[in-house]
Amino acid sequence: MSTPARSDEEWMARAILLATQEKGTDPANTPIAALVVRGGQLVAEGVNRTAEHCDPTAHAEIEALRAACRAVGTMQVRGATLYTTLQPCGMCTMASIWAGVERIVFGAGRSDVHRMYFEDRHLDTVDFIRDAFKKDLTLDGGVLPHECARLYFGPEDDVPEDQQANT
Ligand SMILES: [Zn+2]
């Protein structure tokens, strides 16, 4: 007997819960969470640990991919889906390609949150992927976008400079 596959919304709800359980609800603590799912099963999960680990690469997606690859004992998790509460940056999107991830699903997008979370100017990771790579990775956004965006500073929030990661 198999259990029904979870929907994107159900996985995203789990990611939101993980973000708040591990990081609380203060946007200053960057409560970003990611899950790696394959064949309807959770392989691994991760939350942003950049501050705790003094590691600029310890984004939630990277933490989840590292844990997933350790769990399966290989350097790739081919065919997996990566769920993340916030649109991934270029580093994490690229890492997903190296990891053989087939699909990235994100919650809040660029326009839902403060500009500090993203690249300056017009470059958008989504466009970057569309333009630069083969058709072996799909990127879907807007799964529980409002619930995810509530975790972060909003587009109009006045965020002190010293709390902005991307200045
Ligand atoms: Zn990232």
Q: Which two tokens stand for residue 13?
A: 């709800």
Give the per-residue pLDDT at 33: 98
- Splitting the chain (167 residues) into consecutive groups of 10 residues, what average pLDDT does each group show? 77 98 93 97 97 96 98 97 94 91 94 82 69 77 95 89 68
Whether 42 maps to a domain, the answer reads: yes
Give the per-residue pLDDT at 110: 87
Q: What angle (nearest 5°) sits at the alpha carbon of residue 13, between those of residues 11 and 15?
A: 70
Known catalytic residue at 61: yes
Ligand 1 centre distance from Cα of residue 93 (Å): 7
Strand (E) positions, 91-151?
Answer: 103-108, 138-140
Active-site hit among 61, 102, 147, 161: 61
The pTM assigned to this predicted structure is: 0.90
Contact 67, 46 (CB under 8 A): yes
Give the per-residue pLDDT at 126: 72
CATH number at residue 57: 3.40.140.10
Whether 3 maps to a domain, the answer reads: no
Give the per-residue pLDDT at 165: 66
Whether 162 maps to a domain, the answer reads: no
Ligand 1 centre distance from Cα of residue 59 (Å): 5
Nearest residue to 157 (alpha-carbon basis) of 65, 54, 28, 62: 28
Whether 31 maps to a domain, the answer reads: yes
Quote the number of domains for the chain: 1
Give the per-residue pLDDT at 99: 94
